[in-house]
Amino acid sequence: MRKPNIVYILADDMGYGDVSYLNERAAFKTPNFDKMCEEGIYFTDAHAASSVCTPSRYSILTGRYCWRSPLKEGVLFGYDKPLLESNRPTIASYLQSKGYKTACIGKWHLGLEWTYKDSKNKESIDYTMPLKDTPVNHGFDYFYGIAGSLDMAPYVYVENMNITALPDREEGCTTIQETCKMNQAYNKKFFRKGPTGADFVHEEVLPNFTNRVLGKLEEYKDDPFFIYFPLNAPHTPILPSKEFQGKSGTNEYGDFVLMCDDVVGKINTKLQELGIADNTIVIFTSDNGCSLAADYKELAQYGHNPSYIYRGTKADIYEGGHRIPLIVKWPDTIRPNIQCNEPVCLIDFFATISDIFGDSMEGNIAEDSVSNLPIWKEQNELPVREAMVHHSINGSFSIRKGKWKLEMCPDSGGWSDPKPGTTDDSYPPIQLYNLEEDVRERFNVYDEHEDIVNELKNLLIQYIEDGRSTEGKLQENDGEKHWKQIKWVD
């Protein structure tokens, strides 16, 4: 078997409705995303495992729900320690074992092990010393990137185990209110104050990453390779380059989306120029839904909704928090212009790739990942996935099976209304939606379907207690036994 190359492009906070091929009401065209849809398979019911960055990325690389790790809510920050366990297989280490060259270029956001001058002060990093844990400790031959989001200090590039330039200044804002003085348009340029490397310019980060990926494609072209390219965009700070400013006809967020679209176009063009496009799997998706920082009200003035018709935004348990664009192109295997309406999850990446090699996952490998290869090859007769679990920023759960979605909270679990802590006894403790009839999640029917509520509740309990949601040996979860909202189902 000729091993396929793999390029996984992960946008940061891009909504389902930001791909014009998926949104007939989009205020701008995304020609390169659209071309990928025409040349491959695009999903209308694809989901991130979480509605925020860190847990979503953990699940992609491990095939395991992040709430099984010690991180039960929220995200990591730039100074935080690695979340990935030293002995946990990742898709990168798996592909290394298959003879692949592996590289991660971009936003990591799964924690790094810095070297400190004072162990009690998490910001007293000794930048002259090598780091102790980076992506090269988790299956990547090469890493070039940043610790967290582009609004999280420290602002330095890490290459393999070292930073590329010592900090020579501090940049950013101490508070969001301070940013409002810089940019009245919903804090789009916000980034936290912190040490900044001599070679680090926020506006240049996305072009820098892109050029390095293009160079790595050239370097790796004669061998099977896996390049994981987690973009820093269109997450805050929203900084479209001059070429894209005003191009969307909406606001800076729309312009930044078009800059991401251009990045994808450059990657696909490079693969064609190298003569390796036909046997390269190119995946484009997003780690979660669009952030409120995009300014939904401002975008609505132009008729654009990053969440499309779905309720909620990034951080929420609602569909807008985790329903994301997913496009897969593999000319040697995937027929052009396939629309797939099957519910799938980004956590399925690991099992899908292992299925290409005929390997089954056992033990503590990809415990929650289900192969989508039958979908890619149009061989599926039944749903490939029994159910999927979602997680919001505050640790709230939902479970989706078929048309039914049970949300284990009375609120959004995130940033949309009703916000956590704002509900009273007049709100039902849980929410049940029939997504076939009510994909906008407007009508909570939990009190009309006690049987469905109990079925989904019990399945969620089973998934939690088994340490996995797929067949195989039972596993242990990490960290505390009970999680927020799960007390309701005990």
Span 79-93, pLDDT tens digits:
999 999 999 999 999
Contacts of 395-399 with CB under 8 Å at 24 or more apart are 395/67, 395/72, 395/73, 395/74, 395/483, 395/484, 395/485, 396/317, 396/420, 396/484, 396/485, 397/67, 397/317, 397/460, 397/483, 397/485, 397/486, 398/317, 399/456, 399/459, 399/460, 399/463
Distance CA 109, CA 134 (A): 11
Q: Kindly give, in sequence order, each residue whose CB lies less than 8 Å from that of residue 272, ignoring residues fewer than 6 positions away.
A: none
More confident residue, 249 or 479: 249
pLDDT, one tens digit per residue, over 98-147 is 999 999 999 999 999 999 988 767 778 999 999 999 999 999 999 999 99
Considering the domain architecture, whether residues 55 and 168 belong to the same structural domain is answered as yes
End-of-domain residue from the set 352, 376, 400: 376
Considering the domain architecture, whether residues 322 and 432 belong to the same structural domain is answered as no
**Is 330 contained in some domain?**
yes
Which pair of structure tokens corresponds to residue 124? 């007293």
What pLDDT sits at residue 176? 53
**Is 103 contained in some domain?**
yes
Which pair of structure tokens corresponds to residue 8? 């996984």
Residue 8 clears pLDDT 80, i.e. is over it: yes
End-of-domain residue from the set 322, 344, 376: 376
CATH of the domain at 252: 3.40.720.10
The number of distinct structural domains making up the chain is 2
**Is 363 contained in some domain?**
yes
* pTM of the shown model: 0.96
Considering the domain architecture, whether residues 185 and 139 belong to the same structural domain is answered as yes
Considering the domain architecture, whether residues 183 and 232 belong to the same structural domain is answered as yes
Considering the domain architecture, whether residues 353 and 444 belong to the same structural domain is answered as no
The CA–CA distances, whole Å, from 30 to 15, 33, 302 equal 13, 6, 16
Q: What single letter denotes the amino acid at residue 364?
A: N
pLDDT, one tens digit per residue, over 441-453 is 999 999 999 999 9
More confident residue, 56 or 121: 56
Which pair of structure tokens corresponds to residue 336? 């052009």
Residue 401 CB neighbours (<10 A): 18
CB 323 within 8 A of CB 16: yes
**Is 481 contained in some domain?**
yes
CATH of the domain at 396: 3.30.1120.10
**Is 382 contained in some domain?**
no
What pLDDT sits at residue 50? 98
End-of-domain residue from the set 321, 342, 376: 376
**Is 381 contained in some domain?**
no
Considering the domain architecture, whether residues 93 and 221 belong to the same structural domain is answered as yes
Considering the domain architecture, whether residues 307 and 404 belong to the same structural domain is answered as no
Considering the domain architecture, whether residues 105 and 186 belong to the same structural domain is answered as yes
pLDDT, one tens digit per residue, over 325-379 is 999 999 999 999 999 999 999 999 999 999 999 998 888 899 999 999 999 999 9
Considering the domain architecture, whether residues 244 and 187 belong to the same structural domain is answered as yes
Considering the domain architecture, whether residues 117 and 258 belong to the same structural domain is answered as yes
Range of the domain at 482: 388-489
What pLDDT sits at residue 483? 54
Q: What percent of the chain stands above pLDDT 90? A: 90
**Is 383 contained in some domain?**
no
Residues 30-53, mean pLDDT to the nearest whole number: 98
Residue 484 clears pLDDT 90, i.e. is over it: no
C-alpha angle with apex 13: 9 to 15, nearest 5 degrees? 95
Considering the domain architecture, whether residues 92 and 52 belong to the same structural domain is answered as yes
DSSP letter at 274? T
What pLDDT sits at residue 185? 42
Residue 178 clears pLDDT 80, i.e. is over it: no
Helix boundaries (H) for 274-301: 296-300
Q: Kindly give, in sequence order, each residue whose CB lies less than 8 Å from that of residue 386, ignoring residues fewer than 6 positions away.
A: 401, 459, 469
Distance CA 253, CA 278 (A): 32
Considering the domain architecture, whether residues 235 and 136 belong to the same structural domain is answered as yes
**Is 203 contained in some domain?**
yes
What pLDDT sits at residue 449? 98
Residue 485 clears pLDDT 50, i.e. is over it: no
